[in-house]
Every structure is written in structure tokens, then in C-alpha cells.
Amino acid sequence: MQASGDKNAVSDAAARDAALAAMAAVPVDATGIVNFDAGGRVLVLGDDERAVAFASRLPDGLQARVVIFDPLGAVPTSADPLAIRARREDFSLEGRLGDFVGRLDSGGPAEHFDLVADLCRVPWFDDAWPRFGYHAVAPDSPAVDTVVAELSAETGQFEKPRYYQYDANLCVRGRSGFTACNRCVQACPAGAITALAERVEVDPFLCQGGGVCATVCPGGAMQYAFPTVEGAIARLRRLLETYRGAGGRDAVVLVHDAENPPRPEDLPGNLLPFAVEEVGSVGAEFWLSAVAFGAGTVVLAESSRLTSSVRNALDVQLADAVALLQGLGFPPAIGWRDDDSLSGMPVIRPAAYSGAGDKREILFLALDHLAGEAADAPPVVGLPATVPLGEIRVDVDRCTLCVSCATVCPRGAVAAEDERPALLFFESRCVQCGLCEHACPERAITLNPRFVTDRDARTRRRVLHEEPPFECIRCGTPFATRSSIDRVMARLDGHRMFGAEPARRRLQMCGDCRVIDMMSDSGAN
């Protein structure tokens, strides 16, 4: 006789098989393609003559150029005219598969290569994920044979997906000389993202689809495109809906790398594997949507591709997701697969929203549903500073309504009123980047990370500070605020250029009247 527990496990496994089949039927969004064209030009770097020996082992079809780093430097060796000795500090190398560019000095001619074999004690590139076409290996390592074979296999034409979409208008990297965010640059394991003054730049040829850039991006400027957020949410929803409809219970969603799939027969019946290009390519909006769709637990599988930067970034994102769950009164149901502290979600009414919208919109959909299902959700959930949700607070005694904060905000969370001196705020748009705080000359702004469970309150326009306008004492035109004029008058009190009454009166005039007054006889000192 079969035990009841065994029957339930068999039933869950059957429901899982149906769910996986249904999810596979959801089409994956198309994305752009990045093309590589690599010939047989190979640059071999080394610290001694073993680099020349390595080059001699390359098969026909690969043409080698050898650079041996020597503290003294030298002219090309007579033994092999293709080998050059150079000081490391005089050499430069950049590029990627099919287009590496090397120079012997900053002003020297460029030489182009398709592939690089690096036999130096200190590798030239230190990216956690080596760029395509670049192979670093110790000259006495058995792996040298493998590198020779790999170089031969990397000639020809290749393509890969364009993994990301980037909207510089939403990027909170920086404004007006202030820097607020460097998350994607720090987390990228491939070194594909370069920080510029007010935005970042992604090299599509170096990008390897880690996706952690999109996961850590606070405002959705960087989004994953293979699949899109919408596509991933659609597949996730179909998976859980089908599992539940087929009688499955206590669903656990396992997020894993596509290259390391677990065998379903080795998993508990209620564990639903969800393959992604890289574990770091999905974040809080995905995990919280999973529990909103009815998953009891969401766990991430370890991977050999997880670098320390990616792992650290994911740890922060997981802690943020758990803080949101626990703030709503739910247990910590999201984490790493080997985390014994996780607890399953209670049974809730599954959400039914689609994945339309950007990552932030989907995050709010998940949180709003969970707040509605919570037994006693508080009106406001206090959060760690790493969560990109919250408000700003303005010290009205300091604020002069100069609107520097509104000028630098790239998302329109802070805005100036057109008709009167007032500072407006839209909490749903704020990502807690701190640009407004840095730009405020009066140090009147502080950040307050939180989640407001009332959607209307979160999206409603709020007035942070307002004052009646100060009117020109000559023509009556509003041109400033009372507090700003009072501050100017106080700061210039006793100044030799503003001691006379006419000069002080001009401070209370609009720009046009000030000029007229200065040019008129009656305004002369």
C-alpha cells in the first residue's frame, strides 16, 4: 500500500511536469544580436621565451605575434622577427574577440588582433569573467593544450544575444557634477560597463549576459532583454498557475543558471526549476512576484559563475526583498537554496497581474498585492537604506525653494510648481539615489527609505514646502520667495557695497527694475 506522503509527492511531481511544459510554451521575447568576426591573428603575451614556444605550437591558420615583457625593453629578437620585447608600462591593449588593439606606446601605431593568449604571471585583463577571445594561462600549466585548441575553435563568425536595454534618461548615475549611483559598474563581472559623468556606457561586445546590472539598477534604467522582465514574469505566472491548477502544493521556485539545470527526477515534487541565463539576472520584482503568484518559497541555486561582486550584490537584493516581506508581516521566504533560515509563505490569494511595465512597476504590483493579502499590513514599512523606495524630507526652516533638487532629479520625483514657489514630490518615482540631497545648497533634504502600502498615497502629488512669492517693491512682479530675500538681506547686512539704502532696495527688485533703478537719476547713490 502506497503511503499518503508518497502519493502527494507523485501528485506534486506530475503537477510540476505539467507546469514546466506549460511554461515552455510561453514564447521568449526576441532581442537584438551582437556579431563577432574573428580571423586568425593571435597576440601572445609572456614574460619570457616560453611565449615564443607557445606561438610555435599554434596550428596552421593562426598567425602569431609575440610580445615579451622585459623591464629593459629591446628591439625585435633576431631569432624570431615576430617577437618583440617591450616594457609592460609602454604597452597598451584593449578590445574583444575579433578586434583587440595593441600599441607599443601611446603615440605608436595600432596593431589589430582577433585573439589573445596571455601567459604572463600577472594577466593583462583582470575581469572576473574573461572577455571573449582572451585566454590567460600559466605557461607551465597543463591547460596550455586546452588554450591552443580553444584558439583554433574561436575563428570564424559568431553571434550572441544583446542582453540589455539601457535608458540614459532614467539613469541616476549623476547630475550637475554630483555622483549618486555606481551599482551596475561595481557589480558587472565582465567589465562591460564604464562610468561616465551622468550615465554609464555598456560595451555590447564585452557584455556576457550576467544581468546583475539590471537587478541592482534602482530605477530601471538598465533592463534585461533576454528575456525581458515582462517575458520572465509571464513564464513565471504560467508556471505557478499550471502547477496549482494541476493539484500541486507548497510550490518552491528554484532559480538556476540555464547551463546547470537540475534533473527534475532528482528534485522534490514541489520544487519548480526556473532557468535564467544567469542567476543574477532576476531580482526583487521577480522574486516577490513569485510569492505573489502563490509560491511558498523562492530559492536561488549556487553557480560556478557567481563572482564575489555578483554574490555580494545578490545578497543585498535578497536582504531587501526579505525586509519588504517581513515589513508586511510575512516570513522570510526568499533566499539561497542552502539557507536554513527560510520559512514558507502562508496560503494567499494568488495574484493575476501581467508582466507589462518596467521592473519598478512590476515591483509595486507585487507589493500592492502582498499588502492586500497581509493580515495586518502597516500603512508604512520602514526599510534599509539599500532599498530604492521611499520619500525625501525637507527642513522648511532651511529650504529657500531654490529648486536645485528638482533640477537634478532625473525621474521627476521632485518638481517645482509653475504657478507659485512650491516644491512638489511624487513618492512612487523616488529611488532614494540622493542626488537631491547632494545638490541642496542649504542641506535641507534627507532621505527616508520606506514603503507606503496605500497606493493612492504613494502616487499622489505632495507639497513638501511652499511660500508666498516675494513681489518686486517697484513693479509688483513676483520673482523670489520671502525666505530667499530675507537670507540675502541678512548675509549682505553691513557689506560696504550694500550699506546705502538704495542698494539695499535694489535687492528687493526684480531684474528689470533693478537695471532701470541703477540707470535712473533717482536711483543713483
Residue from 433, 440, 412 nearest 169 by CA? 412
CB burial class (10 A; 0-12, 13-18, 19+) of residue 331? middle
Please report how many Cα atoms fall inside a 13 Å half-sphere around the Cα of residue 362, on the Cβ side. Answer: 27
Report percent pLDDT > 70 for the chain.
95
Strand order, beta sheet including 445-452: 380-382, 445-452, 390-394
What's the sign of the alpha-carbon dihedral 365, 370, 373, 379?
Answer: negative
Residue from 322, 226, 257 nearest 29 by CA? 226
Which residue type occupies 466? E
| CA–CA separation, 332 and 346 (whole Å) | 11
pLDDT tens by residue, 36-52: 999 999 999 999 999 99
Which residue type occupies 158? F
pTM for this structure? 0.88
At 523 the pLDDT is: 46
At 322 the pLDDT is: 98
| CA–CA separation, 305 and 377 (whole Å) | 38
Residue from 317, 318, 209 nearest 258 by CA? 209
CB burial class (10 A; 0-12, 13-18, 19+) of residue 255? buried
DSSP code string of 239-292: HHHHHHHTT--S-EEEEEETTSPPPGGGS-TTEEEEEESSGGG--HHHHHHHHH
At 483 the pLDDT is: 79
At 74 the pLDDT is: 58
| Ranges of the chain with pLDDT below 70 | 1-7, 9, 73-82, 521-525
Residue from 250, 270, 252, 271 nearest 262 by CA? 271
| CA–CA separation, 261 and 137 (whole Å) | 29
At 81 the pLDDT is: 61
| CA–CA separation, 191 and 96 (whole Å) | 12
At 1 the pLDDT is: 33
